[in-house]
């Protein structure tokens, strides 16, 4: 028999922020966040200075799970080319889920126009880390221009997430050939 550990108010707020902002966007109100978390507004403001800080903390907390879901394990024996393709296989797999709304970090960057917004800064850093992963793998795989290839790959990643997230396209049979073409053009092995 397993007993579920009751989440703290902070954990419930972080979970509510992650769930509601992914489904409904960052414009979700404080009242809705508090109601979903079963926490009073007063308690929320005791735990976080603002809704903006709550959103940033929620994104930051989810970053490790995002990386674990999106990236191959370090030193897993795959070639750099296979490691890059792994990321896009994961995107294709996740995009098929009915609750898929695209990349939460891209959505935050699009929705929040203020470059200094704490949640936007967190999202930007996480996406920069993904670009750095692509760049490192491109360099390790002998790409002719690792910086350009990394920029192209993040463009495909974001475009695929956006198109699938809004239900405008299915990625099956589309994303792997697109990425393969880029890898081939960059002499990536």
Report which of 155, 20, 167, 166 is spatially closest to residue 88, judged by C-alpha positions: 155
Helix (DSSP H) and strand (DSSP E) numbers for the chain: 9, 0
**For residue range 121-159, what is the model confidence (pLDDT) as tens digits?**
999 999 999 999 999 999 999 999 999 999 999 999 999
Going along the chain from its start, the domains and CATH numbers come out as 52-185 (1.10.357.10)
Q: At what angle do helices 9-24 and 30-37 cross, to 10 degrees?
A: 130
Whole-angstrom distance, CA of residue 151 vs CA of residue 189: 18
pLDDT of residue 26: 93
pLDDT of residue 4: 62
Cα 118 → chain centroid: 16
Question: Whole-model pTM?
Answer: 0.90
Whole-angstrom distance, CA of residue 73 vs CA of residue 65: 12
pLDDT of residue 1: 52
Query: Would you say 59 and 108 are in contact if contact means Cβ atoms under 8 Å apart?
Result: yes
Report which of 71, 162, 66 is spatially closest to residue 122, judged by C-alpha positions: 66
Query: Would you say 30 and 44 are in contact if contact means Cβ atoms under 8 Å apart?
Result: yes
């Amino acid at each position: 028999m397993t007993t579920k550990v009751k989440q703290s108010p902070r954990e419930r707020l972080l979970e509510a922020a992650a769930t509601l902002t992914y489904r409904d966007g960052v414009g979700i109100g404080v009242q809705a966040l508090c109601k979903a978390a079963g926490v009073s507004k007063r308690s929320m403001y005791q735990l976080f200075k603002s809704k903006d800080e709550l959103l940033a903390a929620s994104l930051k907390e989810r970053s490790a799970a995002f990386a674990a879901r999106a990236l191959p394990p370090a030193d897993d024996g795959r070639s750099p080319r296979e490691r890059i393709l792994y990321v896009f296989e994961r995107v294709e797999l996740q995009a098929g889920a009915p609750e898929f709304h695209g990349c939460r970090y891209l959505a935050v960057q699009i929705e929040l126009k203020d470059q200094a917004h704490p949640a936007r800064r967190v999202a930007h850093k996480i996406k920069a880390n993904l670009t750095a992963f692509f760049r490192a793998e491109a360099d390790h795989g002998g790409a002719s221009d690792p910086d350009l290839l990394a920029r192209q790959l993040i463009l495909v990643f974001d475009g695929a997430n956006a198109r699938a997230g809004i239900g405008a396209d299915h990625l099956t049979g589309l994303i792997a050939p697109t990425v393969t073409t880029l890898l081939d053009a960059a002499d990536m092995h």
